[in-house]
Structure 1
Amino acid sequence: MKKLWAIGLSAAFLLTACGEEEAAEPAEATAGSEGSDDSKEVKQELMKFYMSIPNTINAVDGDLNAFEMNQAEDTLPEGDELQAMKDAAIASAEESAGAIDSIEIPAPLEEQQETIESAFAAMQESYEMKAEELTKDASFEAAIEKFGEADAMLNELLVEQDLAESSIYNEVSQ
């Protein structure tokens, strides 16, 4: 399901970007400025980069998602089975934080690097909060809110490049 969602979102981004690029090409061709080419490169790199973030996280967050889905459906097991599920979810949350740390920001996004790094820090903190909560009562509201801050920062960058807003949280929490 995650992959279908990612493919659908990717297609929407590509269609949005392609439509805007085709409409902008005649003006760019007559203007002949390098700034337009730089802007186009930034937009393309941002789109590719943005779509790679959930793919990186989804590679390691399966056990955490399974716990959260069971929790939401009130179908968590009991006893040793619950503890094993929590332990796997904790490891998954920690791996997710580490995966975010491993994502490299492409050179064309140099001007957006500070915002991206801040968003990544919020995402990592969110996963660390989830890992901590799993040792307690597993209430994830604060962690979800923290991830929402990251989504908001990244959406600002998308809007600046005339791309559609999205939610990485929705893509990684399924």
Structure 2
Amino acid sequence: MKKFFVLLFSLALAIGLTACSSNNEAKTDKKENKEESAPKVDIKKELVKFYMDLGDKINAKDADLNAYVAKATKEDAKPEELPTSEDRAKASEAAAAVAAELNNYKVPAALKDKKADLESAIKDYATSYQIKADELKKDVPNLDAASASLTQAEEKLGKVFESEKLLAPSLDKQVN
């Protein structure tokens, strides 16, 4: 009878150890899988943050440009309300500053899969501002080429947002 109880106890102990060891292996596997998988990036959230940051960078430098455009496009403006050559020079400097800022802008690492498309859009925005800067140095500036470059940039940025099922933004509206 003693041998039977020893055998039964040994069997119960073996089953208990087996159950405990497989349970620990399952927990270890789950921990390793969690550690190996990178944290999930919310691309939509990162795109919106990128867009807002880009707009903030532009707004920080384009106040004189916006003031010039507001004066130049005002309907029924009196001669004293029209922009002066000094206003135009300040607007040119502001546009050049924005172009420089955009040329140095880095796409966040979280958007690495969209980096090429976003950089292309940023390049077109920078080109638009550089054209504005150059044209505003003239007595009679023509901003048609700048508008074309801006439209191209808006389309590129819109495609990136739409690829993530977001509405296409308008950086032009945000910064003006």
Q: CA deviation at 1:77?
A: 6.0
Alpha-carbon distance in structure 2 between the residues aligned to 1:88 and 1:49: 28
Equivalents in 1 of 2:105, 2:49: separation in Å?
13
State the match for 1:134 in structure 2: 136
Give the aligned partner of residue 8 of structure 2. none
Per-residue deviation, residues 61-83 of structure 1 (Å, max 9, x unmatched): 010111111110154867xx712
- Is 1:170 the counterpart of 2:164? The answer is no
- Give 3-state SS (helix, strand or coil) of 2:165's partner: coil
- Does 1:121 find its partner at 2:88? no
**TM-score, with length taken from structure 2:** 0.70
Specify which structure has the higher proportion of helix: 1
Alignment RMSD (CA, Å): 2.1
The corresponding residue for 2:147 is 144
Q: What is the percentage of aligned positions where both structures have the same residue?
A: 29
Partner of 2:20: none
Contact 1:61 1:96 (C-alpha < 8 Å) held by counterparts: yes
Distance 2:123 2:143 in 1: 17
Q: Which residue does the alignment assign to 2:59?
A: 58
Cα separation, 1, equivalents of 2:143 and 2:175: 15
Equivalent residue runs for 1:78-117 within 5 Å: 82-117=84-119
Q: Give the deviation of 1:56 after TM superposition.
A: 0.8
Counterpart-to-counterpart distance in 2, 1:124 and 1:77 = 32
Q: Deviations over 1:91-114 (max 9, x none)?
A: 100111112123221112111111
Within 2, Cα distance between the matches of 1:54 and 1:138? 25
Alpha-carbon separation, structure 2, partners of 1:155 and 1:76: 38
Q: TM-score when scaled to structure 1? A: 0.71
Q: Note if contact 1:93-1:128 (Cα within 8 Å) is conserved in structure 2.
A: yes
Alpha-carbon displacement from aligned partner over 1:7-35 (angstroms, at most 9, x marks no partner): xxxxxxxxxxxxxxxxxxxxxxxxxxx79
Rounded Cα–Cα distance in structure 2 between residues aligned with 1:138 and 1:99: 22
Structure 1 segments (4+ residues) deviating >3 Å = 74-78
- Post-superposition Cα deviations, 1:118-143, rounded to whole Å, max 9, x if no partner, equal 11111111011111111221221221
How many pairs are equivalent? 136
Task: Give the AA of the match of 2:43.
Answer: V
Distance 1:148 1:170 in 2: 12
Q: Which has the larger radius of gyration?
A: 2
Contact 1:119 1:154 (C-alpha < 8 Å) held by counterparts: yes
TM-aligned CA deviation for residue 42 of structure 1:
1.6
User: Greater shift after overlay, 99-108 or 87-96?
Assistant: 99-108
